[in-house]
Amino acid sequence: MTGTDPRRLPVIVGVADLSRGSATTPPTPAEPLDLVDDAVRRALTDTGSGRLAQAVTRVDAVRTTSWRYDNLPGLLARRHGWTLRTSSTTTVGGHWPVALLNAVADGIADGTDDVALVVGGEAQASLRGLGKAGRDPVEAGWTAEPGGPPTFDPEDLGSAAMQRAGILAPVQIYPLFENARAHALGLTADRARAESAELYARFSAVSADHPAAWNPGARTADEIASVTPDNRAVSDAYPLSMNAMPFVDQAAAVVVCSLQTARDAGVPEDRVVHVWGGAGASDTPDVVQRRSFGDSPALASVIDRVGAAGPPALVDAYSCFPIVPKLLLAQLRSIGAAEDLLPTLLGGHSFFGGPLSSYSLHGIAEAVRRLRRDRAAGPALVHANGGYLTHQHVVLLGTEPHPEGRLGDGGVVTVAPAAADVATDHRGPVTVLTAATTFGRAGTPDATLVIAETADGRRVAGRTTAAEAWPDALSLVGRTIDVADEGGVLTVRPA
């Protein structure tokens, strides 16, 4: 608890986010370092004080995926002449912007840190454009030392059980959660898809007015839900417009310091937003062994631990796929949030853009701007999701210090250890816990992915061939079926 000592009250004093180009206007190629540096300079200017630009002693960078930097904070420090006491670069994961902000705020609250930056950015659109033009990014001037082209980590593929089952990519896995939730609520596939489309239509209206949006423009629910040549089926749960859009050039930066430092530097009071605190939790990374698929125990944990602050008025959910904001909404309603609360300040990955691990840094920037415009509007909650509904982090922001000091806690709680052993090459009856069908670009099913349970509680996971795929995988969930598992390829028959 920090009390009211301004030397120990963490505040955000500068924010910036930007987009170079858009979905309809290809960008002039720029490497992520330059985009991030642009955001940093804008964020420092946004403080309204020229004295903080040379006072930065800590930089934490969200991992850039489109290009590899061995030390992005060091590269920025060299450009700005900073002497850093603390710096870090995360692994891949959409939870990191909020996790970093909470860590920086804790460092200021305990007196370890003072003026800090949290930064992140991607140039996947530029990288794609250079590739299509046959140009080498290094020859185009992108930083190659330290750093270079993206590297591949075999651990990014998931567990051995996930690899064996061919259940690996976000576009495969998030529909598994969506269909499990729909089954639990008694929704048909059409109704579940319409629910997602109605939510995302409201999201698109938000992105339409955001200057940093990559794919702006309000869409109707019917446009989002309908499968067309321009909105092809990616899975039985989600057409293309409900999937994250990672091919963007976007960056963001946030300046954090103590309230006393802000005052000493002459930061105007109307630029100051307080970091109240937050919480983090993790589920088991192995999707096959999750205890549940229709909800998120990790998300329930973080909302419960910050719930004493009451329901937030402003919310930005990590929205890579509709299931994530849906689950967040359910948890927020459990602590009294309004039924009509819209859980986005940006418009989600499909419309604002999905700069991979950095998305929620943009959410933090927008939350700060909203609170500055209406200082009676708060509090604001920014949510970040990493992995496959694996890592959940939230942070609460307010225009005044919270009367009880820091909220939440600094630790990350592991909420759900692995649930069951995995049975391989199983033959016989199983109960389907969840299933989803993926589609190819031609609009025909590629495979149906199945996670099921044997009578003695072991997990069976795999995928059908394209010829045996079920166009409506939701109809399998909850049923007892017979399977024959051969190396992760399933033959599925009704029991």
Query: Tell me, what's the pLDDT at 494?
Result: 77
Longest dimension (CA), the chain: 72
Average pLDDT of the chain? 94
Contact between residue 78 and residue 51 where contact means Cβ atoms under 8 Å apart = no
pTM across the whole model: 0.96
Can you list the positions of beta strands (E) in 66-175?
Answer: 86-89, 116-123
CA distance 16 to 133: 31
Each residue's pLDDT tens digit, 127-175: 999 999 999 999 999 998 777 787 756 556 689 999 999 999 999 999 9
Query: Tens digit of pLDDT per residue, the chain (495 long)?
Result: 346 889 999 999 999 999 999 999 988 999 999 999 999 999 999 999 999 999 999 999 999 999 999 999 999 999 999 999 999 999 999 999 999 999 999 999 999 999 999 999 999 999 999 999 999 999 999 998 777 787 756 556 689 999 999 999 999 999 999 999 999 999 999 999 999 999 999 999 999 999 999 999 999 999 999 999 999 999 999 999 999 999 999 999 999 999 999 999 999 999 999 999 999 999 999 999 999 899 999 999 999 999 988 999 999 999 999 999 999 999 999 999 999 999 999 999 999 999 999 999 999 999 999 999 998 887 999 999 999 999 999 999 999 999 888 888 778 999 877 667 899 999 999 999 999 999 999 999 999 999 999 999 999 999 999 999 998 999 999 999 999 999 999 999 877
CA distance 445 to 471: 7
Across-strand partners of 451? 434, 461
Q: What angle do CA 462, 463, 468 make, to 5 degrees?
A: 140
Across-strand partners of 119? 61, 253
CA distance 2 to 216: 41
Q: Which of these, 63, 59, 55, 100, lies nearest to 76 by C-alpha position?
A: 59
Strands 489-494 and 480-486: antiparallel
Q: Which DSSP symbol is given to 477?
A: T
Neighbours of 252 (CB within 10 A): 32
Neighbours of 22 (CB within 10 A): 18
Contact between residue 452 and residue 493 where contact means Cβ atoms under 8 Å apart = no
Contact between residue 72 and residue 61 where contact means Cβ atoms under 8 Å apart = yes
Give the rounded percent of residues in the chain with a pLDDT score beyond 70: 97
CA distance 343 to 429: 41
Residues contacting residue 299 through CB under 8 Å, at least 6 positions apart: 281, 327, 328, 331, 389, 392
- Residue type at 177? F
SS3 of the chain: helix, strand, coil, percent, to 5:
35, 25, 40
Which domains are present in the chain?
6-138+247-416 (3.40.47.10), 427-494 (2.40.50)
Q: Which of these, 343, 366, 148, lies nearest to 252 by C-alpha position?
A: 366
CA distance 461 to 164: 8
Strand (E) or helix (H) holding 414: strand 407-416
Where b means 16+ CB within 10 Å and e means fewer, 312-330 reads: bbbbbbbbbbbbbbbbbbb
Contact between residue 16 and residue 252 where contact means Cβ atoms under 8 Å apart = yes
Q: Give the Å distances, CA to CA, from 378 to 273, 368, 396.
A: 10, 10, 9
Burial of residue 141 (number of CB atoms within 10 Å: 0-12, 13-18, 19+)? exposed
Strands 249-258 and 116-123: antiparallel
Strand (E) or helix (H) holding 483: strand 480-486
Q: Give the Å distances, CA to CA, from 416 to 12, 298, 450.
A: 33, 8, 21
